Structure formats: C-alpha cells, structure tokens
Amino acid sequence: MNAETLIAMVSIFTAGLTMGLGAIGPALGEGRAVAQALLAIAQQPDEANTITRTLFVGLAMVESTAIYCFVISMILLFANPYWDHFLSTGP
Amino acid sequence: MNAETLIAMVSIFTAGLTMGLGAIGPALGEGRAVAQALLAIAQQPDEANTITRTLFVGLAMVESTAIYCFVISMILLFANPYWDHFLSTGP
Amino acid sequence: MNAETLIAMVSIFTAGLTMGLGAIGPALGEGRAVAQALLAIAQQPDEANTITRTLFVGLAMVESTAIYCFVISMILLFANPYWDHFLSTGP
Amino acid sequence: MNAETLIAMVSIFTAGLTMGLGAIGPALGEGRAVAQALLAIAQQPDEANTITRTLFVGLAMVESTAIYCFVISMILLFANPYWDHFLSTGP
Amino acid sequence: MNAETLIAMVSIFTAGLTMGLGAIGPALGEGRAVAQALLAIAQQPDEANTITRTLFVGLAMVESTAIYCFVISMILLFANPYWDHFLSTGP
Amino acid sequence: MNAETLIAMVSIFTAGLTMGLGAIGPALGEGRAVAQALLAIAQQPDEANTITRTLFVGLAMVESTAIYCFVISMILLFANPYWDHFLSTGP
Amino acid sequence: MNAETLIAMVSIFTAGLTMGLGAIGPALGEGRAVAQALLAIAQQPDEANTITRTLFVGLAMVESTAIYCFVISMILLFANPYWDHFLSTGP
Amino acid sequence: MNAETLIAMVSIFTAGLTMGLGAIGPALGEGRAVAQALLAIAQQPDEANTITRTLFVGLAMVESTAIYCFVISMILLFANPYWDHFLSTGP
Amino acid sequence: MNAETLIAMVSIFTAGLTMGLGAIGPALGEGRAVAQALLAIAQQPDEANTITRTLFVGLAMVESTAIYCFVISMILLFANPYWDHFLSTGP
Amino acid sequence: MNAETLIAMVSIFTAGLTMGLGAIGPALGEGRAVAQALLAIAQQPDEANTITRTLFVGLAMVESTAIYCFVISMILLFANPYWDHFLSTGP
Amino acid sequence: MNAETLIAMVSIFTAGLTMGLGAIGPALGEGRAVAQALLAIAQQPDEANTITRTLFVGLAMVESTAIYCFVISMILLFANPYWDHFLSTGP
Amino acid sequence: MNAETLIAMVSIFTAGLTMGLGAIGPALGEGRAVAQALLAIAQQPDEANTITRTLFVGLAMVESTAIYCFVISMILLFANPYWDHFLSTGP
Amino acid sequence: MNAETLIAMVSIFTAGLTMGLGAIGPALGEGRAVAQALLAIAQQPDEANTITRTLFVGLAMVESTAIYCFVISMILLFANPYWDHFLSTGP
Amino acid sequence: MNAETLIAMVSIFTAGLTMGLGAIGPALGEGRAVAQALLAIAQQPDEANTITRTLFVGLAMVESTAIYCFVISMILLFANPYWDHFLSTGP
C-alpha cells in the first residue's frame, strides 16, 4: 500500500501548491486592470460601455490562467489518472 | 495506520499553505482596485454609480481566485477524496 | 500515540503559518486603500460620504481574505476533522 | 514525555514566527495610511476631522490582522488545545 | 513497482509546478496590457476598434506562454511518454 | 534533562527571531510616516499641531505591532508557560 | 532498470521546470510591449499600421525565447537522446 | 556538559542574528526620515525648529525598535535566564 | 553503468535550467526595447525607419545572450564532450 | 575540548554575519540622507548650515544601528561571556 | 573512474549555471540601453548617427560580460584543464 | 588537530562572507550620494564647494560601515583571538 | 587522489559561480550608464564629445569589477596555487 | 592531509564568493553615478570639469569597496595565514 500513499500525498500537496501559486498572478493582474478601468471611466465617462466591455473580456482572459490552475488541482484531486491506475491494478 | 497519518499531515499542511499563499495576491489586487476607485470617485463624483458597480464586479472577479484557494482548503479538510479512500479500505 | 503527536504538531505549525502569511497581503492592501481614501477626501471633501462608504465595503472585501486564513487557523486548532478522527478511533 | 516536548517546541516556535511575520504587513500598511493622512491634512486642513476619523477606522481595520496573529500566538502559548489534551491524558 | 510509482510522483508534482509557475507571468502581463488598453480607449475613444483588435492579438500571444505550460502539464498527466514506456514493458 | 534543554533552545531562538523580524516592518512604517509628516509641516506650517498630534497617534499604532513582538519575546524569555511546566514536573 | 527510471524522472522534472521558468519572462515582456503599443496607437492613430507591424515583429522575437524553452521541453519528453541511448543499449 | 554548550551556542547565534536583522529596518526608516527632513527644511526654512523637533521625536520612536533588538541581544548574552538556570542546577 | 547515468542526468537537468534561466533576461530586455520603440515611433513618425533599424540591431544583440544559452543547452544534449568520452571508453 | 571549539566556531561566524547584515541597512540609509542633503543645499544654499547640522545628527542616529552590530561583533570576539565561562571551568 | 565522473558532472553543471546566470544581467542592461537609444533618436533625429555609434560601443561593452561567461562555459566544456589532467594521469 | 582546522575553516569563510555582504550596502549608498551630488552641482554650480565638502563627509560616514566589515575580516584572518587561544594551548 | 579531485571540483564550481554572479552587476550598471549617455547626447548634442569621453572612463571603471571576477575565475582555472601545491607534493 | 584539503577548498570557494558578491554593489553604484554625471554634464556643460572631478573621486570611493573584496580574495588565494600555518607545521 506504500505506492498508493505516496501518490496520494504528492497529489494533495501539488493540488494545493498549484492553486496557491496560481492565485497570485491573476489576482494581481486583475486588480491592476480593474483599477485602471475605474480611472479610465473617471476620465471618459461617455465611453463607460466600451471600457467595461473590454475590461470584462480582458478579465476573462486573465482569469483563464487561474482556471487552468484550478482545473489541474481538480484533476489531481478527483480524476487523477495515476491514482486510477494504481487503484485498478490493485496493491 | 501509518498511511492515514501521512495523508492527514499532508492535507492539513497543504490546506493552510494554499490559503496562506492564496490570500496574498487577491488582497493586494483588491486593495489596489479599491484605492483607485476612491480616487476615481473623487475625480468624477457624478460617475460614482458606474464606478462603484464596475468596482464590485471587478472585486468579485479578483475574490474568485481567493475563493478557489478556500474551496481547495475546505475540500482537503472536509471532503478529501484520498482520505475517504483510505478510511473506506480500512487500515 | 505517535500519530496524534504528529497531527498535533503539523496542525499547530500550519495554523500559525497560515495566519502569519495571510496577514501580510490584507494589511498592505487595506493600508493602500485607506491611504488613497484620505487623499480622495482631501481632494473632494463634498464626496466624503460616498468615499467612506465605498472604502468600508472595499475594506470588508479585502478583510475577507484575512478572515479565510483566520477561519482555517481556528478550524485547525479547535475543530480539526483529522484530529477528531484519530481521537475517536483511539490510539 | 517525548510528545509533550515536541508539542511545546512547535508551539513556542510557531507563536514567535506567526507574530514576527504578522507584524510586517500591518506595520507597513499603517505607516502608509498615516503618512498619507498627514499629507491629506496638509492639503485640506478644514477636513482634518473627517480625515482623522476615517484614518482611525482604517487603522483599526489594518490592526485587526495583526491582532489575529497576536491572538493565535497567545492561544498557542496559554490556551493550546493540543497541549491541554496531552496534559489531561497523561504521559 | 517502484519505478512506476516514482515516475507517477514526479509527473504529478511537475505538472502542478509547471502550471503554477506558468500562470504568474502571463496573468501579470495580460493584466498590464488590459489596464493600458483601457487607458488608451479613454484617451482616444475614436480608435477603440484598432486598440481592441491589437489588444486581443497581443493577449493571444501572451496567453500562448500559459498554454505551453498547460500543454506540458496535460502531456505529463495524460500522455506521458515515459509512463507509457514503463507500462508497456511491465514491471 | 533533554526536554528542558530543547525547550530552552527553541525559546531563545524564537525570542530573537520574533523581535528581529518584528523590527523591520514597524521601523520602515514609522520612518515613512515621520518623513511624510515633515513634508506636511513644511507645506502647511499653520497645521503643525494637528499634524504632529495625528502623527504621534499613528506612530503609537504602528509601534504597537513592534510591542506585540517584544511582549512575545519577553514572555518566551521570562514567563514561558511551557518552561514553567517542565520545571514544576521535574525531570 | 534503475538508470532508466532516473533518466525518466529527471527528464520529466526538467521539462516542466524549463517551461515554467521560461514562461515568466516572455509573458511579462510581451505584456509590456503590447501595453505600450496601445498607448502609442492612442497617441498617434495615424501610425497604427507601422506600430502594429513593429509590435508583431518584436513580439515574435520575444516569443522566440519562450519557444526555445518549449523546444527543449519537447526534446526532453519526446526525443531525449540520453533516453534513446539507454533504451538501445538495453538494461 | 552538553546542555550548557547547546544553550550557549544558540544564545550567541540568536544574539547576533537579532541585532543583524533588527538593524536593517530602523536604519532604512531613519535614513528616509532624515532625508525628508532636509528637503522640508530647504522648502520651509522658517519652520526648521518645528521640523527638527518632530524629526528627533520620530527618530527616537524608530530607534526604539532597534533598541528592543539590542536589549534582547544583551539579555541573551549577559542575563540569559535559561543559562542561569542550567548553571545553578549544575551539570 | 553508473557514471553514464549520472552524466546523463546532470546534462539533462543543466540543459533545462540554463535555457529556463536564460530566457528570463532576454525576454524582459527585448520587451522593454520593443515597448520603447513603439513610443518613439508614436512621438516621431518620420524617423520610423531609423528607429526600426536600430531596434532590430539591438534586439539581435539582446537575443544573442539567449542564443548563447540555447547553444549550451544543445551542446549538452547533442554534442556533450564528456558523454562522448564516457561512451568511447566504454563502461 | 569539543565544547570550546563549538563555542568558538559559532562566535566567529555570528560576529561576521551580524556585521555583514548590519552594514547593509545603515549604508543605504545614510547614502539616502546624504543624497537628499546635497539636493537640499542646492535648492536652499542659505540654509546650508542648518541642513548640514541636521544631517550630521541624523547620520549619527543611523550610524548608531551599525555601531550596535559592531559592538556585538566585538563582544563576541573579545569579551564573549560564554567563552569566558567555559575557559574558567576548564575542559 | 569515480574522480573523472565527478569532475565531468561539476563541469557540466557549472557551465550551464554560469551561462544561465550570466545571461540575465547583460540582456536586461542591453535592453535598457536600446530602449533609451530609441527614445533619444525620437527626441533628436539629427543626432541619430552619434547616438547609434555610442549605443553600439556601449552594447559591445555590456555584451563583454556575457562573453566572459560564455568563454568560461566553453573552457569548462571543451578545454577544461582539470579534466585534461585527470585524463593524462589515467584512472 | 581537528579543532584548529574547524576554527580556520570557519574564520576563512566568515571573513569572506562578511566583506562580500558588507560591500553591497556601502557601494549602493555611496553611488547614490555621488549621483545626487553631481545633480546638485549642475543645479547650483556656485555651491560646488559646500556640496563637495558635505559629500565627502557623508561618504566617509557611509564608508565607515564598509570599514567595520573590513576590520572584522582582517581580525578574523590575522588577529583571531580564538585561533590564538587554540595555538597557545596546543593540540 | 581524493584531495586532488575535491580541489578540482571546488575550483571549477567557484570559477563559474564567481563569473556568473559577477556579470550581473556590471552589465546592469553599464546598461544604465549607456542609456543615460544617449539621453544626455540627445539633450545636449554639442557636448557629445565630453559625454562620450566621460562615459568611456566610467564604463572602464564599472567593467573593472567584472574583470576582477574574470581574473579570479582564470586564476582558479589556470594558476590555482592550491592545485599546484597538491600536484607538487604528489598524492 | 585532510586538514590541508579542507582549508584549501574553503579558501577557494570563499575567494570566489567574496569577489562575486562584492562585484554587484560597486558595479551598480558606479553605473548610477556615471549615469547621473552624464545627465549633469548635459544640463550644465560649463561645469563639466567640476562634475568630472567630483565623479572620479566618488568612483574611487565606491571602487574601494570592490577593492576590499579583491584584496581579501587575493589574501585567501596567495597569502592565506591559516594555510601557511598548516604547511609549516606539516601534516
């Protein structure tokens, strides 16, 4: 049962580390984009619609890198191919 | 009972580390967005509504990366699939 | 009694580390938001109410990431599911 | 008596580390807020009351993250649930 | 079965680390590009179309480095050539 | 006598580390606040009283985080509850 | 079979690390270039063609360093000369 | 005699590390305050007295964190309570 | 066969590390140069030819440091003199 | 003779490390203060006396943190209380 | 044959590390110089010749530090004096 | 002869490390002071004498921290009190 | 033959590390100096001669620190006094 | 012969590390001073003589910290007092 334990430990730790690291960049990037968007609206209120629309498309793009990390964390926790292999071959 | 102990230790440590790392980015990003929002309101008080609404949508987006981390921490503590496996197979 | 000791040690250390790391980001972010709020009030004293209200909603949002960390620290210290498991199954 | 010693060592070290890390962010954030407050007073002396009041509410908010760390340090030193457990079960 | 376990562990850890590191740069870079795009739209609303189109081509380029990381993570998890080799040669 | 020695070593090291880390943030934060206060006085000499009073309240707030660290260092050196326990139970 | 396992482990880890590190620089550099390009278009809409063309040539140049990393990762995973050697000489 | 040696080693190392770390923050903070004070005097020579007085009170405050570190270093070297304990109980 | 394995492992790891580190600097430097080039074209459209030519010569120079790293990575993978020596002398 | 050697080694290493770390902060802080002083003299040559006097008092204050480190290094090398203890009790 | 293997391993790793580290500084420095050169040409197109000539002499100077690193990497790989010694003395 | 070797090794390493660390801060601080001095002379050529005199006193002050490090390195190499002790007591 | 191998390994690694570290500072410093020189020429084309001459003297000075590192690397590789000693005394 | 080898290894490594670290600060500091000197000459060509003279005195001062490091590296390689001791006492 040693192999299973090791795979489980590494999967748990990697799932957390990936999400933990992967939350730093997108959060900072989105915060910057939102901050600038508000400044832009204040400067040019008439373009609020265009600015907001561009902002949301951009935020979705930045968010995508956080979602990649979340996807990999979820795969490691709930659909780990290596874990499935070890389970199916038995101990 | 060794395997259970190891899984528990790694899960506890990862849950804390993920949340600890995952709180840095969103907090800084939101702080920046809020700071700029106040400046924007001061510059263009008439657009306070648009600015506040855009700010809250943006904050929700940034907060989402912190929530991903929180979700993974909670899964590791209360719904850990690996832990359930080891419990169900018995020692 | 070895397993209990290890779980306790990891829980204590993680509780402290999570809170220690999790206090850096929110404190810096809130400090920045408060600093900008004061500048905004000085520029536009008539909007002090709107600014203060937006500031407090924003601070609550930033504080939430610190509170996530505090919650996880408290769970690890006082409602640790793994610890409860090991206590209930006996040594 | 080994388990007690280990718990005590980890608790002491974590108490110090949590407070040490947790003092960096709030101190920097508060320093920034205070610095900006003084600038704001110099620009708009008539609003000194509003600025000072907002500053103190904001400082209290930032200080809260330092206090979370202090609380956890104190819990680890004087009301550690794991330590109480090991003491009550005897060696 | 030792070799398989090691390969699986290293693959899982590397998949997470690659995505975790690889999300920091693109997220920050895209956040900066989006932020500047909004400022540019505010300055020159008549060029919103050109700016948005250039922004999206640029974002796609930046995103590509995140996608390289995602591709490598996916290869390591689901199409790992070394893992296939060890599986096909048997233990 | 091993347990006592370990507790003493960890207490000494943690006391120093906590104070060493805890002196960085407050010193930088206070330096920044003082620096800005002087600039504010130079800009608005008539408000020197208000500025100085706000500065000292703010400094006291920032200093509080350094004092938390100092208190924990002193507790670890002179009123360490774990040390008292091990002394009272004898070796 | 020990040598093969080691080569495989090191190749997998290096492939991921190279791509992970190699994505940080290009993403930041391209983000900066795109951001400045949008500002330049806003300032001088008549030169949008020249600016866009220069931008894309520059982006291709920056992207090249990311591609070097991707190439090396791919070589390590699918055309590793050392791995081929060990396979051809047999265990 | 082993315990005494260990306590002495840790005390010496911690005394140096505390002072070494604790000198970085105050020196930078004081340097900043002094630098700004000179600028303030140059801008408003008539307020030199107020500025100098505020500067010295502020410097004393910043210096206090360095002095906390120095005090702890001195306690560890010349009035270490743990060392006194081990000396009085004999080897 | 031990020596060969070690040489192969070190060569693979170094090839990746060199390229990974070596991609950070050039990508950032080129990104900065391209960004400034676009600003320069926007300011002085009549000099677009001179600016573009100088930019490409400069980019080639910056790229050269990335290419040095790529060359060394390739040498380590495909023309490693130490590996050739060990192969020719036999195990 | 083992204890003496260890104490000597730790004392030597700590003496150097304390001074090495303790020289970074004061040097940077003093450099900043001196730099600003020269700018202030250039702006307000008539106040050169006041500025120079304030500068020297400030420099003495900053230097004091470097001197604390130097004092501790000297104590560790030439008046180490622990070393004296071990010498007087004999091996 | 142990000594040869160790020398080869260290030489390979050092060759890569030297080039990897040595590419960061020159690339950033050259990027900055090129960026400023383009700005200078945009400001003063009539001096494009002088600026370009000075730029290229400067770039050559900066490149020289990268070339020192490349030379040492090449010496370590193809003209390593220690390796030649061990080869000539035989195993 | 073991003790002598250890003391010698630690002394050599500490001497180098102290000087290496201690050269970073003073060099940066002096560079900044000199840079600002030149700017000040360019702004106020009539005060060149006062500026140069203040600069040299300031540089001497900054240099003093580098000299503390150099003194400690020299003491460790040529007048090491611990080394003298071990030599005089014989092996 | 063990001693020779160790000396050779340490010499090779140190030669590379010294050059690798020593290339970062000079390259950045020279890049900055060249960048500012071009700006200075653009501002004051009539002084191009004085500026270029001062630049080259300054670059030579900065380059000197890189050359110190290169000299030490070369000494370690080709004129290592310790290596000569061990060779002359024989194994 | 063990002691000699260890001393030689530590001396070689420390010589390289001291020079490598010690080249970073002076190079950056001198680069900054030279850069500002060129700007100062461009602003005030009539003071080129005073500026250049002050620059060279300043550079010599900054260079002195690099020379301290070089001196210590040279002492460690060619006039190492510990090495001389071990050679004269024989193995």
Consecutive sets of 10 residues in chain C, 91 residues long: mean pLDDT of each?
Answer: 83 94 93 93 89 92 94 93 82 52
| pLDDT band for position E1 (cuts 50, 70, 90) | low
Q: What is the 3-state secondary structure (H, E, C) of chain E?
A: CHHHHHHHHHHHHHHHHHHHHHCHHHHHHHHHHHHHHHHHHHHCHHHHHHHHHHHHHHHHHHHHHHHHHHHHHHHHHHCCHHHHHHHHHCC
For chain K, percent of residues with pLDDT exceeding 90: 68
The stretches in chain K having pLDDT less than 70 are 1, 90-91
Helical spans, DSSP H, in C1-91 = 2-22, 24-43, 48-78, 81-89
Average predicted confidence (pLDDT) for chain G? 90
Contact N40, L39 (CB under 8 A): yes
Q: Which residue has the higher pLDDT, D90 or F55?
A: F55
User: Residues 8..67 of I with a Cβ closer than 8 Å to G: which?
Assistant: 8-9, 11-13, 15-17, 19-39, 41-43, 45, 48, 52, 55-56, 59, 63, 66
Residue range E52-62: mean pLDDT, rounded: 92
So what's the pLDDT on residue N64? 93
Q: Which of A13, A34, A72 to mutate to test the interface with B (most CBs of B within 10 A)?
A: A34
Q: pLDDT at residue H90 above 70? A: no
Q: pLDDT at residue L15 above 90? A: yes
pLDDT in tens, M16-50: 999 999 999 999 999 999 999 999 999 888 888 99
So what's the pLDDT on residue E90? 59
Q: What is the 3-state secondary structure (H, E, C) of M19-63?
A: HHHHCHHHHHHHHHHHHHHHHHHHHCHHHHHHHHHHHHHHHHHHH
DSSP state for residue I47 in the 8-state scheme? G
Indicate the length of chain E as a whole number: 91
Indicate the length of chain C as a whole number: 91
SS3 call for B54: helix
M vs N: CB pairs below 8 A? 170
For chain G, percent of residues with pLDDT exceeding 90: 68
pTM comes to: 0.90
pLDDT in tens, K44-53: 888 889 999 9
The alpha carbon of residue A51 is apart from the nearest alpha carbon of chain E, in Å, by 6
Q: Is ipTM beyond 0.95?
A: no
Buried b (16+ CB within 10 A) or exposed e, C8-23: bbbbbbbbbbbbbbbb
Largest CA distance in chain I: 67
Residue range I9-37: mean pLDDT, rounded: 93
Contact D82 C32 (CB under 8 A): no
| pLDDT band for position I4 (cuts 50, 70, 90) | confident
Contact N70 M68 (CB under 8 A): yes
Contacts of A among chains (3+ CB pairs under 8 A): B, E
Contact L54, J41 (CB under 8 A): yes
Contacts of G among chains (3+ CB pairs under 8 A): E, I
Integer Cα distance of E65 and E63 in angstroms: 5
Task: List the single residue in J20, J25, J27 with the smallest CB-CB distance to L17.
Answer: J20
So what's the pLDDT on residue E24? 93
So what's the pLDDT on residue A16? 94
So what's the pLDDT on residue I37? 92
Mean pLDDT per 10-residue segment, chain A (91 residues): 83 94 93 93 89 92 94 93 82 52
The stretches in chain N having pLDDT less than 70 are 1, 90-91
Integer Cα distance of L84 and L76 in angstroms: 11
Contact H47 F52 (CB under 8 A): no
Q: pLDDT at residue L89 above 80? A: no
A77 in E contact zone (CB under 8 Å): no
Integer Cα distance of M65 and M81 in angstroms: 22
User: Cβ contacts (< 8 Å) between D3 and chain C: which residues?
Assistant: 1, 4-5
So what's the pLDDT on residue D85? 87
So what's the pLDDT on residue G13? 95
Contact L44, J42 (CB under 8 A): yes
Contact N68 L66 (CB under 8 A): yes
So what's the pLDDT on residue M86? 83
Distance of CA L68 to the CA centre of its chain: 5
Task: List the single residue in E10, E54, E68 with the smallest CB-CB distance to G41.
Answer: E54
**pLDDT-wise least confident of F60-69, I42-51, J23-32:** I42-51
The alpha carbon of residue F18 is apart from the nearest alpha carbon of chain D, in Å, by 5
Residues with Cβ < 8 Å from A71, sequence gap 6 or more? none
User: Cβ contacts (< 8 Å) between G78 and chain I: which residues?
Assistant: none
Task: List the single residue in H46, H58, H81 with the smallest CB-CB distance to F34.
Answer: H58
Largest CA distance in chain B: 67
Helical spans, DSSP H, in chain F = 2-43, 48-78, 81-89
Rg (CA), chain J: 20
Average predicted confidence (pLDDT) for chain M? 90
Q: pLDDT at residue J57 above 60? A: yes
DSSP state for residue J45 in the 8-state scheme? G
Contact I5 G10 (CB under 8 A): no
Residue range F59-84: mean pLDDT, rounded: 92
Q: Does B contact J via 3+ CB–CB distances below 8 Å?
A: no
Q: Which residue has the higher pLDDT, I31 or E4?
A: I31
Integer Cα distance of A16 and N31 in angstroms: 43
Q: Which of B17, B21, B30 to mutate to test the interface with C (most CBs of C within 10 A)?
A: B30
Q: Which of N43, N46, N50, N61 to mutate to test the interface with L (most CBs of L within 10 A)?
A: N61
Integer Cα distance of N30 and N61 in angstroms: 10
Contact N36 M35 (CB under 8 A): no
Integer Cα distance of M47 and M40 in angstroms: 9
Largest CA distance in chain D: 67
So what's the pLDDT on residue L4? 82
Closest to I15 measured CA to CA, from M75, B18, G21: G21
User: Cβ contacts (< 8 Å) between B19 and chain A: which residues?
Assistant: 20
pLDDT in tens, H5-54: 888 999 999 999 999 999 999 999 999 999 999 999 998 888 888 999 99
Structure tokens at L14: 């500490």
For chain D, percent of residues with pLDDT exceeding 90: 68
Residue G49 main-chain phi, psi, to 5 deg: -65, -50
User: Cβ contacts (< 8 Å) between G71 and chain E: which residues?
Assistant: none
Average predicted confidence (pLDDT) for chain L? 90
